[in-house]
Structure 1
Amino acid sequence: MSVTRRVQNTVRALLGLTLAAVPGTAAAAAAPEADDSPTSASAGLRDPARKEIAMRLVSSAENSSLEWRKQYRYIEDIGDGRGYTAGIIGFCSGTGDMLELVEHYSSAKPGNVLEKYLPALRKVNGSDSHRGLGSAFVRDWEKAADDRDFREAQDHERDRVYFDPAVRRAQQDGLGALGQFVYYDAMVMHGAGGPDGFDAIRRAALEKAASPARGGDQGTYLNAFLDVRRKTMKREAAHEDTSRIDTAQRDFVRAGNFDLRTPLTWKVYGDGYRVD
């Protein structure tokens, strides 16, 4: 479970004509025309094109960059009490998901450069300690990121722990691609369990508004979910900036862009982004 690391990583993505980070862009989601292609909204966020958009949206908030694939080698302690934060989704040494990642990597590729740190990762789990890790672990993490098997392990654990559970819950609630992304982003930041976790946010939202699966309006329900999540974020100093909701997700809801169709424009922390 990650905490935003915008202060530590201010790289801005420039990906040519079809994808650009555009400082100063107005934070609004355009409502594009209908898409008759096979990769349409019916597939939701599992459609590869929309999943790619979701990865870029999350990266704009987590990394201040749309280039999420450059984050496989990222690792540092950002002082949030979770130890090291690393990789494409902010796996943390203090919250268990980093340990599970290295365990999965080691089961797929025994003898890898990170396997020797498993005992230390088990000991520091639940704390911000670096004991048994330190600069050697940082160097080896960066070295492991050059290994395709480790990158695939990060993808696997991202999907298993965050993406797939979020999309399943959103589908159960009758939500389209936008709602699935809203759930995924919340799962990434808050994790599933605990008093401030995704499941608690979802329960509170369902008490405020009916989901589409229960006959409710999609926009009304998503606004209720975002209201609850915003309050949850405000309770933690590391999450005080809620622009990933206020000038991104909320704008998509206002535009009625429940299929998450491009072009998309949004702002996070005052920086503008666009996906065409």
Structure 2
Amino acid sequence: MPNLPMKKISKALLLSCGLLALSLNAGAHGLAAGSQARLDARIAPCDAAWTVGAVYSAGSKVSYGGVNYSAAYWTQGNNPAGSSGASATAQPWISGASCQQAKAAANDHDANFSPATLQFLKTNTGLDGEQWDNIMKLINKPEQDSLNWTKYYGYCENINDDRGYTIGIFGATTGGPNDEGPDGPALFKEFDAASGAANPSIAGGLARAGAHGNMQGSILKITDSKTDFYKKIEALQNNPAWREAMWHTFYNVYIKYSLQQARQRGFTSALTIGSFVDTALNQGASGDSGTLEGVLSRSGKSTDEKTFMTSFYAQRSKIVDTNQYNQPPNGKNRVKEWSTLLGLGETDLKNADADVVKVTNWTMK
């Protein structure tokens, strides 16, 4: 066999070495990727995030700050990071292992609404699913300390504010000494209607929920035990008629008035409409100086939307951190979410996912 010229031998050797290096590289990368995958698999997924206002019974599981916890006994308002230890420490939370948040899928905003609700919102508000999804994230952060607002269709709690039970994604109430015009009765009537009743009624809606109660004047008095009523509302979480009724009631009570206030000033942006809805929900739509109506009356007459809204946020910030509305500094942070987005130019709340996450990255007290 003839000898190969040196030049050709060098090329062959280089090619061989290159292929070997690539092979070793790929093998090393595969090992690293495999090790990471195995490491990820060993880290437990995070349980549902702890919520400051929720009631947790013994054995309840939550996560906070990348750690899972279980409740040692009934607890409410105790931050797991500061109220935990081993089972023998008598703390309300027992600390567990580090956990890993699930990776978010691509953000399909419309998937958070039924087709009927999407059409209802587009027809009545002019805003689409992406805009309403972002509005609800901004609203839900200071309400439930979460951007996952769709988890709260079945939310029910008595927060001891003399307004009865607080229910659902916008906090409908059954009424009490501090709320003599509750929206909970309307919600149950809408539920009966959405479920197909020919002559919808509050009693019909309660019956469909398996709940018991009666109207005492304008107040809906629930006669079930607190535990039973919580369970009955929780069971409606994925009920399509309940979700549709929730949005119709939300629109009638808060959104419609907020839209009117925006449009009569010539404002149509999603950010302004959402800001007004958040104020109405948190502080009341109309009435005294603390309501949306009252804040608007002190915000000037400018027809320039940015100028007016800058004044509006300043006026709202003066009153939100009160015992009636929010625990400090939650109220000012609540307003800052919206005002920061205004400064960023995110007025249409479209392609705004990263900025919505950024402005809601604050700690609730």
- Aligned counterpart in structure 2 of residue 117 of structure 1, from 206, 212, 220: 212
Please give the TM-score of this superposition, normalised by the length of structure 1: 0.72
TM-score for the superposition, normalised by structure 2: 0.56
> Mean alpha-carbon deviation: is it higher for 103-112 or for 224-233?
103-112
User: Residue type matched to 1:187 in 2?
Assistant: A
Distance 1:187 1:239 in 2: 14
**Counterpart of 2:212 in 1: which secondary structure?**
helix
**Higher-Rg member (1/2):** 2
Q: 2:258 aligns with which of 161, 166, 179?
A: 166
Q: Kindly indicate whether residue 296 of structure 2 is the aligned counterpart of residue 210 of structure 1.
A: no
For residues 292 and 280 of structure 2, the distance between their equivalents in structure 1, rounded to whole angstroms, comes to 6
Compute the displacement of 1:149 (Å).
1.1
Which of residues 162, 186, 196 in structure 2 aligns to 1:100?
186
Q: 2 CA distance for matches of 1:106 and 1:227? A: 41
AA paired with 2:321? K
CA 1:191–1:14 in 2, change beyond 3 Å: closer, same or farther? farther
What are the equivalent positions in structure 2 for 1:30-179 lying under 5 Å apart? 46-94=127-175, 95=179, 96-109=182-195, 110=197, 111=204, 112-114=207-209, 117-119=212-214, 122-123=215-216, 134-175=226-267, 176-179=269-272
> 1:102, 1:118 within 8 Å by CA — same for their partners in 2?
no
Structure 2: distance between partners of 1:146 and 1:258:
31
Match of 2:320 in 1: 233
Q: 1:75 to 1:191 in 2, by over 3 A?
A: same
Instruction: Tell me the distance in 1 between the aligned counterparts of 2:242 and 2:105.
Output: 31
State the number of aligned residues: 233
Alignment CA distance shift 1:98-1:257 (3 Å): same
Kindly provide the amino acid, as one letter, of the partner of residue 58 in structure 1: I
Question: SS of the counterpart of 1:239?
Answer: coil
SS of 1:187's equivalent in the other structure is helix
Secondary structure at 1:82's aligned position in 2? Answer: coil
User: Counterpart of 1:139 in 2: which secondary structure?
Assistant: helix
Residues of 2 paired with 1:15 and 1:236: CA distance?
37
What amino acid does structure 1 have at the position aligned with 2:277?
A: Y
Q: Give 5+ residue unaligned stretches, structure 1.
A: 20-42, 272-276
1:267 aligns with 2:267: no
1:118-147 CA-partner distances (Å, limit 9, x unpaired): 51xx228569x7655633322222223342
SS in 2 for 1:234: coil
RMSD: 3.0
